[in-house]
Amino acid sequence: FVDNNLLGALRTQLEWNKLSVLYNTKYGFENTIVRLVKFFQDYITDNNINVVCIDFMGPFRSLECRVLEKVCDEMGVKKLVSLKAAILGRIEIFDNTKRISHAANSNYKRLLDSGINKSELERLDRFLKSYKIRKKRFHGDAWLNILRNERVSTSIRIIKKLRLLRNTLTRRGTKNLYIKHRNITEFSSTPYFVFFPNKKNNHRTYNASPFYSDYAALIRAISISLPIGYSLLIKDHPHHVKTKPNNDLLKAIMSTDNCHYLSLDTDYYDLMENAVGVFSSASTTLIESLMARKHVLTFGSEPYIFGSNLLAPVHRITNLEKLPLIINSCISKPVDKDKINAYLISLIESSSSTINSNNEEDFLICKPEDNQKQYVQIVKMINNLIY
């Protein structure tokens, strides 16, 4: 019933997802999966449910939601998955498992067939300019400063100190590695690719690209695939400002001479300006890389966002032995800007601003009191898909 890839992806997350129903030492993982599937099947059947709306703000945070999606597929029940769209600040309703809605998919194919008119290009240009301004305001130094200065509750501080003491006494802790943070200006005259790893133990990575969740292994594979003279610059996830970085990732970088760890203060747009292409595994950053008109190299057969849509303007990596050929293709060929424009327009047209009905006003920083406005937008989009 549940394919092995999904089972493996769920199983590997249990170590740090112990609040999940699937973490059950009494019945075991396999038996708990069976019980959960039976529970969902019975509930849907007994209540004559025709449409299931899943986890409104983040389906990849919950292992149970992944099982529910699979149950809906097998039972032929329509499912709508609502979350913040790849273009942050917007909401998208996924009505299939491709991680791009049927609406976006049909719009994309239409634009590829008929071409993009002047008004659509003008709207995309306005959107991207507005997005960039708000992105720099929200994700730049201001965000890093917020993360650095974020107050931690007393109980969490005590727990962390107790864990540190336990690890010290039992020698279970791992020594933090220290690596030189490079500056982007050092590579102004060097051709380079960029790698954006997700946070360690990121749910989205394990659910969407479980075979490519080892960032250290990916960095080593990219390193030996790069032509002479090219570098790989790694910009870690901003949340590592307040948490220790992934030691395995740092070891991989330190063991090579063409991979370099950038400062977390590196400006995203400065980094993108001269990059040949961008690597990532199940990260929404890849959409912003398309906005910068860069080659996007994404790992997995059905990676997050792009799903199984083979027409998406990205380079899919499903065999690491072909990585050198894909890299050389990026170096030798320009990006297909028409395809990228069509894809971005389709995402904008099929999603909605999180708190505004006016789609020109996007990427506003949402506050708790804005939740009701988001729910109103979600209900409107769901009604459009059902009725």
**Each residue's pLDDT tens digit, 89-107:** 777 787 776 677 888 889 9
- 220 has pLDDT over 90: yes
Q: How confident is the model at residue 370 (pLDDT cuts 50, 70, 90)?
A: low
Task: Report which of residues 276 and 102 the model is more confident about.
Answer: 276
Q: What is the DSSP string of 9-55?
A: HHHHTGGG-TTSTT--TTT-HHHHHHHHHHHHHHHHHHTT--EEEE-
Q: Nearest Cα to 282, choosing from 209, 200, 203, 220?
A: 209
Distances (CA, A) of 132 to 32, 121, 185, 290: 45, 16, 21, 13
Tokens of 194: 């960029």
Give mean pLDDT, residues 278-287. 88
CA distance 81 to 101: 9
Contact 104, 203 (CB under 8 A): no
Give me the residue label for tokens 């149950």. 71
Q: How confident is the model at residue 194 (pLDDT cuts 50, 70, 90)?
A: very high
Q: Where are the alpha helices (DSSP H) in 56-214?
A: 63-75, 102-114, 118-139, 141-149, 154-170, 203-208
3-class state of residue 12 by DSSP: helix
CA distance 274 to 125: 21
Give me the residue label for tokens 């001479």. 257
CA distance 204 to 209: 8
Task: Report which of residues 55 and 15 the model is more confident about.
Answer: 15
Q: Nearest Cα to 9, choosing from 94, 58, 70, 80?
A: 70
- 173 has pLDDT over 60: no
- Find the radius of gyration of the CA atoms of the chain: 22
Task: Report which of residues 101 and 138 the model is more confident about.
Answer: 101
Tokens of 111: 């634009």
pTM, full prediction: 0.83
CA distance 330 to 8: 32
pLDDT tens digits, residue range 23-74?
Answer: 999 999 999 999 999 999 999 999 999 999 886 555 556 789 889 988 998 9
Lowest mean pLDDT among 7-16, 38-47, 109-118, 335-344: 7-16
Tokens of 239: 């949340």
Q: Residue 363 has what pLDDT?
A: 46
Give mean pLDDT, residues 137-161. 62
- 293 has pLDDT over 70: yes
3-class state of residue 295 by DSSP: strand
What 8-state DSSP symbol labels residue 351? E
The arrangement of strands across the sheet holding 351-353 comes to: 51-54, 78-84, 90-94, 351-353
Contact 377, 355 (CB under 8 A): yes
- 280 has pLDDT over 80: yes
Mutual angle of helices 102-114 and 337-349, in 10-degree steps: 140
- 153 has pLDDT over 70: no
Highest mean pLDDT among 17-26, 125-134, 143-152, 334-343: 334-343
Q: How confident is the model at residue 15 (pLDDT cuts 50, 70, 90)?
A: confident
Contact 58, 34 (CB under 8 A): no
